[in-house]
Amino acid sequence: GAGVSQSPRYKVAKRGQDVALRCDPISGHVSLFWYQQALGQGPEFLTYFQNEAQLDKSGLPSDRFFAERPEGSVSTLKIQRTQQEDSAVYLCASSFGGNNEKLFFGSGTQLSVL
Amino acid sequence: DQQVKQNSPSLSVQEGRISILNCDYTNSMFDYFLWYKKYPAEGPTFLISISSIKDKNEDGRFTVFLNKSAKHLSLHIVPSQPGDSAVYFCAARGHRGTSYGKLTFGQGTILTVHP
């Protein structure tokens, strides 16, 4: 597709359940980012990939959060044993990489943990 | 520790007038600043940016001003149009030697432009 695609659009999970959120970046984009946006707040950085290499995971809030991009294109953000505080919109963004600072965001996955 | 702050949660402006959205930051290591616009149920879209070596950047109706000594930037929209109604996020990037691509966002300002 022409833009960054994320699925599912909405996810409701019971507390303690594992979830997996998918991101399809724009074709050819080297860099991929995950952000978490809580209600009424701005997006907060979680992690960054350049191709398949995870270069920065300093924003992941706990070891329950895990991200991968095994072939340098599609990425999955996995949250284990979800907690209520994990409820947020998870945004994926991609860019050509290098010196290109413009990020193209997907519409996000809204996660609700009950 | 909020390193990028947008102190006005909302702004209401009449169509045709100027909209001014403000942003303050605390980290002097930030070297690049961006504004993103977000419509409901969509991801943020890039609007305009400015490097720390400049004090102004203009793109059509949008102008961003940077005051490094005050650690303050602002976005001016002239003239404002109803289609500009959205949430506007200010974002900053750390020095390239640290974490390229890792943006720090403000909380956002909801802009409403009335016809």
Chain A residues lying within 8 Å of B36, measured CB to CB: 105
Residues of chain B with pLDDT > 70, as a percent, come to: 94
Residues of chain A with pLDDT > 90, as a percent, come to: 87
Measured between alpha carbons, how far is A48 from B73 in angstroms, rounded to an integer? 26
pLDDT at position B15 over 80: yes
The angle formed by the CA atoms of residues A105, B95 and B108, to the nearest 5 degrees, is: 40
Contact A58 B99 (CB under 8 A): yes
Q: Residue A6's CB: how many other CB atoms inside 10 A?
A: 23
Looking at every residue in chain A, the average pLDDT score rounds to 93
- Note the pLDDT of residue A1: 54
- B28 vs B109, residue with greater confidence: B109
Of A40, A59, A101, the CB nearest to B49: A101
Instruction: Quote the minimal CA–CA distance from A80 to chain B in Å.
Output: 24
Chain B residues lying within 8 Å of A59, measured CB to CB: 102
Could you tell me the residue range of the domain that residue B28 belongs to? 4-114
Looking at every residue in chain B, the average pLDDT score rounds to 93
Instruction: Quote the minimal CA–CA distance from A25 to chain B in Å.
Output: 13
Task: Locate the domains of chain A by residue range.
Answer: 5-106
Confidence band (pLDDT; 50, 70, 90) for B98? Answer: low
Quick one: closest CA in B to A102, which residue? B46
Characterize B68-88 residue by residue with b for buried, 16 or more Cβ atoms within 10 angstroms of its Cβ, and e for exposed: eeebebbbbbeebeeebbbbb
Mean pLDDT across the stretch A86-95? 96
The first and second tokens of residue A69, run together, are 């991009």
- Note the pLDDT of residue B19: 98
- A100 vs A67, residue with greater confidence: A67
Count of domains in chain B?
1
Mean pLDDT across the stretch B8-29? 96
Is the distance from CB of B36 to CB of B46 less than 8 angstroms? yes
pLDDT digits (tens, 9 = 90+) for B41-84: 899 999 999 999 999 999 999 999 999 999 999 999 999 999 99
Chain A residues lying within 8 Å of B4, measured CB to CB: 42
Instruction: Quote the minimal CA–CA distance from B60 to chain A in Å.
Output: 18
Mean pLDDT across the stretch B22-37? 94
- Note the pLDDT of residue B1: 72
Instruction: Quote the minimal CA–CA distance from A106 to chain B in Å.
Output: 5
At the topology level, CATH places domain A5-106 in Immunoglobulin-like (2.60.40)
- Note the pLDDT of residue B96: 63
* CATH number for the domain that contains residue B58: 2.60.40.10
Contact A102 B46 (CB under 8 A): yes
A104 and B CB contact within 8 Å: yes
B79 preceded by a cis bond (ω within 30 of 0): yes
